[in-house]
Amino acid sequence: MSNTGQGAATARRVRKRPADQAFRGITTGAGVLILVVLAGVAAFLLIEAWPSFVAPAEEIPGEGGLVLYIWPLVFGTLLASVLALVIAAPLAVLIALFITHYAPRKLAQFLGYVVDLLAAVPSIIYGLWGFTVLAPATRGPAEWLHEYLGFVPLFAGPPSTTGRTMFTTALVLAVMILPIVTAVIREAFLQTPKLHEEASLALGATRLEMIRMAVLPFGSSSIISGSMLGLGRALGETMAVAIVLSASGGVTFNLISSGNPATIAANIALEFPESSGVAIDTLIASGLVLFAITLVVNMIARAVINRRTDFSGAS
């Protein structure tokens, strides 16, 4: 028998091993289970929310209909999450660059542990910190922003006397998602091919130029995907927002006033215990919208990761 024939026979024997087939079945079942759970959650939300879709407008809380009830919540959720991402993403890139390319080895290891530890802090702790420390501390800056930048709609004011504003909420969310975004970007920067970095330095580039030409292009897709993961975390945050934000409803871009739009997750947590009937169905419908938004965000992040072009020093 030729070597080719022997190799084919060996491959067939390996494929027919019971252990391999069992392991393949287990892994396939795990993958299918994820899809089943996801579909089950979506079906549950849709079934439970359906009465609110067909209910008369006067039975919906606020008596303005389902769309008018959910739209301000969607606006508040997106506003707080996007602001948090705008604050956290640049800081995450800078922190990741410092840990991977500037800090001494021991300091980099320590900072890496600290960043990972921040991700394990419960959200309620962040909420209490934002309520007791950050909210009072933002009153002064809010008054300054209103005085000198009041012509900008974001700082039109009047400033809140409590500091429990959308601006404070965005800061708390930014601190909460910072460890997640930083960890993803840091791992991408550590995987930058050393040959690319050394080639840039050998051609006379400074360290800043080397980072701009070699490190950032390699980690660009990870920066985007990490940011999207952080955005997904911010969209679903509940306790911290419920504690910090003083919501009054409505739609406004004013970040420092006492009139703040609520978020979907915080509104569900605050209103659910005292709701009944169609009001519960309406809250579940808002949860369905949040589920759809989060799913879209994660799908976009996965698409960015899949489009990432792997390259190494050899190529």
Lookup: tokens for 202: 């050998």
Lookup: tokens for 134: 């950050």
Is 260 exposed, middle or buried, given 0-12, 13-18 or 19+ CB atoms closer than 10 A?
Answer: buried
Lookup: tokens for 67: 């769309």
Query: Are 221 and 307 within 8 A, CB to CB?
Result: yes
Lookup: tokens for 198: 């050394």
Lookup: tokens for 305: 């990761």
Task: Name the helix (H) or strand (E) containing 72.
Answer: helix 66-97
Query: Are 246 and 259 within 8 A, CB to CB?
Result: no
Residue 314 is predicted with a pLDDT of 37
Lookup: tokens for 59: 């039975």
Report the distance separating Cα 215 and Cα 192, nearest Å: 6
Q: What is the pLDDT of residues 211-259, one digit of tens each?
A: 888 888 888 888 888 888 888 888 888 888 889 888 887 788 888 888 8
pLDDT class for 95, splitting at 50, 70, 90? very high
Q: What is the pLDDT of residues 39-73, one digit of tens each?
A: 898 899 899 888 888 888 788 887 778 888 889 89
Length of the chain: 315
Q: What CA dihedral angle connects 215, 221, 223 and 224, to 10 degrees?
A: 160
Lookup: tokens for 298: 């994660």
72: Cβ–Cβ under 8 A, 6 or more apart, which residues? Answer: 249, 250, 251, 261, 262
Mean pLDDT on 266-270? 88
Other C-beta atoms lying within 10 Å of the C-beta of residue 138: 22
pTM for the predicted model, two decimal places: 0.84
Question: In this structure, what are the phi and psi dihedrals at residue 288, rounded to the nearest 5 degrees?
Answer: -65, -40
Cα angle 265-224-311, degrees, rounded to a multiple of 5: 145
Mean pLDDT on 94-115? 88
Report the distance separating Cα 95 and Cα 92, nearest Å: 5
Q: In the chain, pLDDT over 70 holds for what percent of residues?
A: 91
Q: How many H-runs (helices) and E-runs (strands) does the chain carry? A: 14, 0
Cα angle 290-42-47, degrees, rounded to a multiple of 5: 105
- The single residue listed with the structure tokens 């006379």 is 204
Report the distance separating Cα 60 and Cα 263, nearest Å: 18
Report the distance separating Cα 251 and Cα 285, nearest Å: 19
Question: In this structure, what are the phi and psi dihedrals at residue 266, rounded to the nearest 5 degrees?
Answer: -65, -40
Query: Are 237 and 48 within 8 A, CB to CB?
Result: no
pLDDT at 175 over 70: yes
- The single residue listed with the structure tokens 């050998």 is 202
Residue 251 is predicted with a pLDDT of 83
93: Cβ–Cβ under 8 A, 6 or more apart, which residues? Answer: 185, 223
